[in-house]
Amino acid sequence: MSALVSAALFGLSSLFGLAVAADAHAAARVPVVAAENFYGDVATQIGGDHVAVKSIMSNPDQDPHLFETSPSTARDLSSARIVLFNGAAYDPWMQKLLSASPRPGRVLIEAGALVGAKDGDNPHLWYHPATMPAVAKAYADALKQADPSSGADVDARLTAFLASLAPINAKIASMRAKYAGIPITATEPVFGYMADAIGLDVRNRRLQTAVMNDTEPTASDLAAFEQDLRNRRVEVLIYNAQVSDEMTRKMLAIAKASGVAIVSVTETEPHGVNYQTWMSEQLDALDAALAKQAPHAHRGSSSGAAAQ
């Protein structure tokens, strides 16, 4: 056998060995399923190469309220060793799928249970500053149980993730110092926990809850919402960019005509960014809107307008 042929065979053997090793490593990864992509993102950040993460709801252009499961979702859940989901009635389809696809030893991490949220509460928990640290810690513990060899790396990744949330918390504190008491409103309570953390006076909560629960707001609540915008009793209107309906379009038009700043938020993490960037960009957008409104806003905050 010539030296050239021997070298070629050796090269092929090496490539085959690398491919087998890569397949073995991939097979050894802990299968993780997240109901929503922001939990999947956090799972990947902390798990690294130790996990294979699949997120069920991951389309930022889709209305999450219209989401429907598929057979592939059930297949993914049947093999998952760790499952992360929101709870608080946001993703009720998860419990049905989990019951239909039992697996001994599977660990369920429910954000709502970790922060004390129950059915009927605002379920948009990923905007609550306490949620992701709680989810991250519970998930890291579960992953180390599933793959003890990952312990040191997972601990380091968890520490880095928690540290990466510090700028977000600092931004919230800074905005609270500047804008606490400023009246704002929203089409639904997607951003509610973050607005409360900033100390904003969120008006029209009954209407937001009705929209969230897919029920018809009362005529009086609709009228109050519209008057808040027309008379500029609020400085910012926050709306869910993933939901487009007649009421939202009407209120956006009124807000624009009245000089009320408009800030969009999303329920699903956008493509190409991580959770930290997503939160930071939305806080920056709200900060910019409030700063632009500041002279009028501070006059409004001293008027004692009560939240509805």
State which CATH number among 3.30.465.10, 3.40.50.12590, 3.50.50.60, 3.40.50.1980 fits the domain covering 20-122+130-164. Answer: 3.40.50.1980
Q: Collapsing DSSP states into helix, strand and coil, what is residue 83? A: strand
CA-to-CA dists, residue 273 to 60, 221, 281, angstroms: 12, 36, 10
Which among 125, 84, 86 has a CA at the least distance from the CA of 107?
Answer: 84
For residue 8, the model assigns a pLDDT of 53
More confident call, 229 vs 95:
229
Mean pLDDT of 16-45: 78
Higher pLDDT, 241 or 308: 241
Domain limits of the chain? 20-122+130-164, 167-301
pLDDT of residue 45: 98
Average pLDDT over residues 106-118: 97
According to CATH, the topology of domain 167-301 is Rossmann fold (3.40.50)
Q: Quote the pLDDT of residue 306.
A: 39
Give the percent of the chain with pLDDT over 90: 74
| pLDDT computed for residue 21 by the predictor | 42
The predicted structure's pLDDT at residue 74: 87
Most confident by average pLDDT, 10-19, 91-100, 132-141: 132-141
Distance, first Cα to last Cα, the chain: 87
Beta strands, E only, the chain: 30-36, 51-57, 82-85, 107-110, 183-186, 201-203, 236-240, 261-265
In this predicted model, what pLDDT tens digit does every residue of 121-159 receive, in sequence order?
999 999 999 999 999 999 999 999 999 999 999 999 999
pLDDT for res 101? 84
Express each pLDDT in 269-295 by its tens digit. 999 999 999 999 999 999 999 999 866
Band the pLDDT of 14: cuts 50, 70, 90: low
Mention every residue, 6+ apart, whose C-beta is less than 8 A from residue 19.
none
Locus of tokens 């793959």? 147
How many other C-beta atoms can be found within 10 angstroms of the C-beta atom of residue 20?
10
Q: pLDDT tens digits for 151-208? A: 999 999 999 999 999 999 999 999 999 999 999 999 999 999 999 999 999 999 999 9
Return the pLDDT at 300: 44
**What digits encode the pLDDT tens for the residues 61-88?**
777 777 777 888 888 899 999 999 999 9
Q: Are 54 and 171 in contact (CB under 8 A)?
A: no
- Return phi, psi of residue 297, to 5°: -60, -45
For residue 265, give the amino acid letter.
V
Mean pLDDT, rounded, of the chain: 89
pLDDT at res. 10: 58
The yes-or-no answer to whether 20-122+130-164 and 167-301 have a common fold is yes
More confidently predicted of 3 and 236: 236
pLDDT of residue 26: 55
pTM of the model: 0.86
